[in-house]
A and B are shown apart, each in its own frame.
Chain A
Amino acid sequence: MTPLEAEVAGEQLWLHPLKGLFWPRENTLMLADLHLGKAAHFRKEGIAVPRQAEQQNLHRLGQLVASFKVERVLFLGDLFHSRYNASWESFGHWMQEFSHIDFELVIGNHDILAPVDYQRVGLKIHQGGLVCGPFLLTHEPLEKPHQKGFNLAGHWHPGARLRGRGRQHLSLPCFYFNRFQGVLPAFGAFTGKMAVKPERGDRIFVVTDQEIMPFSRN
């Protein structure tokens, strides 16, 4: 699994096939749409999603954190899927193993836990946008350029549609960048994706299990 380096808003960023974005100058890892607890939420409602789907999320998250020298992890919203369930405690335990790392969350539309739940596990939360160097972090992608910085966001679960000769089609998760913002793929297992419509000048980084593969529309 090899990350790919890309220049965004004058900064060098690493895009990782595990669907994280690492900013080496600040040792910061950014992730979006983990939807932790989604499987458990379904199970609580009597819909039998295998529990391992849940455990796999934390396993991959650990792998990703271990791939870089991470000091700060920023979740760009939809960290937890819905109302409180036991998966939140598993996440709390997991965080304790990384006490040297600061974990922060930009609140997304799915993040409806009580403030005390975030506090208890030591997660710092941000309502609205968070400015971080040249970047303005939000959950939902902004509609137009913002003076406070280059927008990095989640929420869309972006997917790229590819076509090839012989009537071949593929649809895969991707990082999506236009001139004023970047949208991260959804990290969580058991989440879907939404096709993005590329405009002229956009950059699309398709994510496979092994690689990050760049595409652009000229």
Chain B
Amino acid sequence: MKRSELLGIAEGWFAQRGWKPMKFQYETWRHFLAGRHGMLNAPTGSGKTYALLVPVMLDFIRRYPKDYQERYDSGLQLIWIAPIRALTKEIEFSAKTLCEGLGLNWRIEVRTGDSSSSVKNRQKKSMPEILITTPESLHLILAQKQYPRLFRKLQAFVADEWHELLGTKRAVQVELALSRFKAMRPNLRIWGISATIGNLDEALEVLLGNAHAPSSIALVKANIQKKIEVVTMLPDEIEKFPWAGHIGLKMLEKVLPIIHGSKTTLIFTNTRAQAEIWYQRLLETDPSLAGMMAMHHGSIDKKLRHWVEAELHGERLRAVVCTSSLDLGVDFRPVETIVQIGSPKGVARFLQRAGRSGHQPGATSCIHFLPTNSLELVESAALQQAMDEQFLEHRQPYVRSFDVLVQYLITLAVSEGFYPQVLFKEIQSTFCYQGLTEAEWSWLLAFITHGGESLNHYDEFHKVEVAPDGKFQVTSRRVALRHRLNIGTIVSDQLMIVKMLNGSRLGTIEEYFVSRLSPGDIFWYAGRNLELVRVKENAAQVRRSDKKAGAVPSWMGSRMPLSSQMSEMLRFKLNQAMMGGTKEIEMQTVMPLVEKQQELSHVPGKDEFLIEKMKTREGYHVFMYPFEGRNVHEGLAFLMAYRISLLQPITFSIALNDYGFELLSDQEIPIEDAIDTDILSPDHLFDDINASVNSTEMARRKFRDIASISGLIFKGYPGKFKKDRHIQSSSQLFFEVFHDYEPSNLLLRQAFDEVLEFQLEETRMRKALVRISKQKIILTEPRQFTPFSFPLMVDRLRERMSTEKLEDRIRKMKLKLEV
């Protein structure tokens, strides 16, 4: 069949629906049909799904031009990876529509953690032609016996919303799965779809690994400029607007007219707890919203989530309060308006959310930004300027994640087994593990076969065994079962199911939260007042209550750092404000606050670096304001703490936010001496970072995820397998034993490396310090907390660092009475 004929089939279908293929769609089709891999850079709602579904089907038609409409059960042709479950239904729908239009008898199926076991069993026997799935579910398939059979016909692999996966360990899972597929299917075509990010080229490199000729790779840009209108909601009186806080209820009443003035509104919050609170308070303030408003977040049961999604499609909801669970892809045409509560912390995320509205091509997206504290007004102004300049963030990919690799090796050992010589080459072909050495590989093999050390006759370590022919495999059914339950890289706290007394499921909740409640206590969950009746077998049984809730569950979670792009913009805006050159309404609104800062302390100009010191009942405070974003501040705070501690043994409690950080101590902080000894100098940075990382808790915290991903800690799943009590332990204990007895353990080293790569990233810190070293240091002693210092002072989530002798610290302490 000629190419024009082939393309004609697709054009015909487009024409039937009154559409015309866009340039980037044509381009993608052509590249795909020419056998290339690539990346499609296109925003949500632009037709990107059809850009890649169409050529996969055309390719099939090309192979079977005579009877493509009569072929059934053709085997798995395409794997489509979606980062979140809400996205899968949408793609399924598009694929089914297209299949029908082209007359293909393809099965299109979704496979996620939500899929029933009957679906999973059917797929074990016979795969659909298109499988829409998540990285975790894909690895679960690789953990099945005889999985290679399922991929014998595989033609293409698409990673949708790849920018969302990149920068997480889920992307590493995709890389590993792909390395396996490429070995089985050398002609497999690999495509990514990504929104615009700062490092699009790197994103493509990560997806493809390092074994492709440049001529076989294409980068297609949709170049669709979506019109976005941002409206910042302003407080009536800036003097009464809070200096700190992230919930933002103060301006709740201003959201109501937005909801009523629009067909459907999505209200984005940054955390699940915030979503719960907002939903509750909106209903209380305006009872007429009852029945017209819903809530959507990741801990709510899938049935409720699906219901909300269906109601949105059906235009039966006025408003949905949601978290990032509705960030992606889903094409909710009825959505007219977006409200973002609190800073989105990044330009790319804000654009993504704005793009949820005005979904039709050419429509304008409207997003209302509701600041939760005064300084977020400055962020809003910075955000808009960054958007105008397309100043977008990079997503930093993980490299050398040994935890994910350990998990993957066992996945393969559980299913078909593997030969190390063969597998090593596959793994080295990925971006993540291109630098994996022979020595590290041997260590990993030793770790999974005899627990990391040389073999010892006393030892009964039992996990992966080596068959006489050299094949690595798991023979124990128990090990296999436990491993399958543990696959994944998203680590959460131990979860409990929330169930009504009649047995219906509402969702999951952190065990930690439930453990603080007693039967009879009322809490607010999934948009209702619930009374805890009892805890039974890993389920919290509840009933509805009319009493007022006392608690809202907090899901541990993400405090998003301000991206460095945003930070730079923020410094620029503050500067502008001081120079009197601000036109934006946001900046004018926040001016009284900036003046207050100037009155109490100082507002640093372009060539100044502000340090504030204070003494209160709590102790001695030092605040510094680099305006570099949380991540850099974390590193700088530890570096400053470490350098000060070289002057005298001292213990610090450290708070940080996107604007600066606080060092708090029980003893006077010799900040003047420290400034004299150049603590802000970029000299000896590398050594000092390495010294300070050892005296902090950061690596210990990183190890939590690593221990879980690599299978050291086994939590089971809500409602399943409570038996293994005797092999449950905390990541803390593992961290300690490795630290004490096996310091060269690669998983332990990985924890420190991740800190150095992501938190104490030397290049970013050096850049900041070089900038600061050219600035004049202004040290003030304000008589009260300033608009800058107040949000830091009230922050309860603190890091610690100490160089004092433990016994000396204890001697100054008291028993804590509440537990």
Bits for B325-363, please: 1 = Cβ < 8 Å to A, else 0.
000000000000000000000000000000000000000
Whether A49 and B817, one on each chain, are in contact in the complex, defined by CB atoms closer than 8 angstroms, is no
Which one, A41, A45, A49, A217, contacts B479 given CB within 8 A? Answer: A45
Choose one: B459, B478, B741; the contact of A52 (CB below 8 Å).
Answer: B741
Q: Is the CB of B815 within 8 A of A215?
A: yes
Contact residues of A between 156 and 178, Cβ < 8 Å to B: 160-170, 172
Residue of A nearest to B814 (CB): A163
Are A41 and B726 within 8 A (Cβ)?
Answer: yes
Q: Which of the residues A46, A56, A164, A192 comes within 8 Å of B461, measured between beta carbons?
A: A46
Give the residues in chain A near B810, CB-CB below 8 Å: 162, 170, 172, 206, 208, 213
B742 at the interface (CB under 8 A from A): yes
Does A132 sit at the interface, judged by CB under 8 A? Answer: no
Question: Within 8 Å of chain A (Cβ to Cβ): is B215?
Answer: no
Q: Fill in one digit per residue for A28-49: 1 if any B CB lies within 8 Å of its CB, else 0.
A: 0000000000011111111111
Q: Does A98 contact B (CB under 8 A)?
A: no
Q: A216 vs B732: C-alpha distance in the bound complex, in angstroms?
A: 28
Query: Once the chains bind, are B665 and A163 in contact (CB under 8 Å)?
Result: no
Q: A216 — which chain B residues lie within 8 A by C-beta?
A: 815
* Interface residue B146 (Cβ < 8 Å from any Cβ of A): no
| Cβ-neighbour of B733 out of A85, A166, A172, A191 (below 8 A) | A191
Q: Determine which residue in B453, B665, B727 has the highest number of CB atoms from chain A within 10 A of its CB, and name it.
A: B727
Given A42-B727, A44-B462, A161-B816: A166 touches B651 (CB 8 Å cut-off): yes
**A190 cross-chain contacts in B, Cβ below 8 A:** 729, 733, 736-737
Structural contact, B461 and A165, CB atoms closer than 8 A: no
B141 within 8 A of A: no
Chain B CB within 8 A of A136 CB = no
- B592 touches A (CB below 8 Å): no
Interchain CB contact under 8 A, A48 and B447:
yes
Contacts of A165 in B (CB 8 A): 618-619, 666, 812
CA distance A160 to B813 in the complex (A): 12
The docked-state distance in angstroms from the alpha carbon of A123 to that of B213 is 70
In the bound assembly, the distance between CA atoms of A82 and B813 in angstroms comes to 38
Q: Which residues of chain B in 763-819 are interfacial with respect to chain A, using CB atoms and an 8 Å cutoff?
A: 798, 800, 806-807, 809-819
Contact A48 B461, beta carbon cutoff 8 Å: yes
> Out of B459, B714, B724, which one reaches A43, CB within 8 Å?
B459
Give A169 to B712 CA distance when docked, in angstroms. 28
Question: What residues on B are CB-neighbors of A86 within 8 Å?
Answer: 458-460
- Known: A41-B726, A86-B460. Is A51-B712 also a contact (CB below 8 A)? no
**Which B residues touch A43, using CB under 8 A?**
451, 459-462
Chain B residues whose C-beta falls within 8 Å of the C-beta of A39 in the assembled complex = 737
Residues of B within 8 A of A198 (CB): 815, 817
Q: Which residues of B contact A52 (CB under 8 A)?
A: 740-742
Min CB distance B307 to A, Å, is 40
Residues of A close to B729: CB separation below 8 A:
42, 190, 192
Q: Is B653 an interface residue (CB 8 A)?
A: yes
Asked whether A210 is an interface residue with its Cβ less than 8 Å from the other chain, the reply is yes
Interface flags for A187-218 (1: CB within 8 Å of B; 0: not) read 00111100111100000101011110101110
B734 interface residue, CB < 8 Å from A? yes
A-contact bits for B733-777, CB 8 A (1 contact / 0 none): 110111011100100000000000000000000000000000000
Q: Nearest Cβ in chain B — how far from A101, in angstroms?
A: 25
Residues B479 and A46 in contact, CB atoms below 8 Å apart: yes
Residue of chain A at shortest CB distance from B478: A45
- For the complex, is A9 an interface residue (Cβ under 8 Å from B)? no
Is the beta-carbon distance between A168 and B651 smaller than 8 angstroms? Answer: yes
Check: A53 CB closer than 8 A to any chain B CB: yes
B169 in contact (CB, < 8 A) = no
Chain A proximity of B570: nearest CB distance (Å):
27
A88-106 near B? 1/0 per residue, CB < 8 Å: 0010000000000000000
B42 within 8 A of A: no
Complex: A157 Cα to B481 Cα, angstroms: 31
CA gap between A44 and B476 in the complex, in Å: 11
Residue of A nearest to B724 (CB): A45
Q: Are B738 and A50 in contact (CB under 8 A)?
A: yes
By the criterion CB–CB under 8 Å, are A160 and B815 in contact? yes
Please state if B818 and A197 are interface contacts (CB–CB under 8 Å): yes
Kindly provide the distance from the CB of A15 to the nearest chain B CB, expressed in whole angstroms. 15
Report the Cα distance A59→B729, complex, angstroms.
Answer: 23
B298 at the interface (CB under 8 A from A): no
Residues on B facing A (Cβ under 8 Å): 447, 451-453, 456, 458-464, 476, 478-479, 618-620, 651-653, 664-667, 711-712, 714, 724, 726-727, 729-730, 732-734, 736-738, 740-742, 745, 798, 800, 806-807, 809-819
Chain A interface residues toward B at CB < 8 A: 39-53, 56, 81-82, 85-86, 90, 110, 160-170, 172, 189-192, 195-198, 204, 206, 208-211, 213, 215-217
Considering the complex of A and B, which 5 residue pairs feature the smallest CB-CB distances, nearest first?
A46-B463, A166-B619, A48-B451, A165-B666, A166-B666
**18 A-B residue contacts at CB 8 Å?**
A45-B462, A48-B447, A50-B742, A52-B741, A90-B458, A162-B813, A163-B815, A164-B812, A165-B666, A166-B651, A166-B653, A168-B809, A170-B813, A189-B737, A190-B729, A206-B810, A210-B807, A213-B811
A82-B726, A85-B460, A208-B810 known, 8 other contacts, Cβ within 8 Å: A46-B711, A49-B451, A161-B819, A165-B619, A167-B653, A168-B653, A169-B800, A191-B733
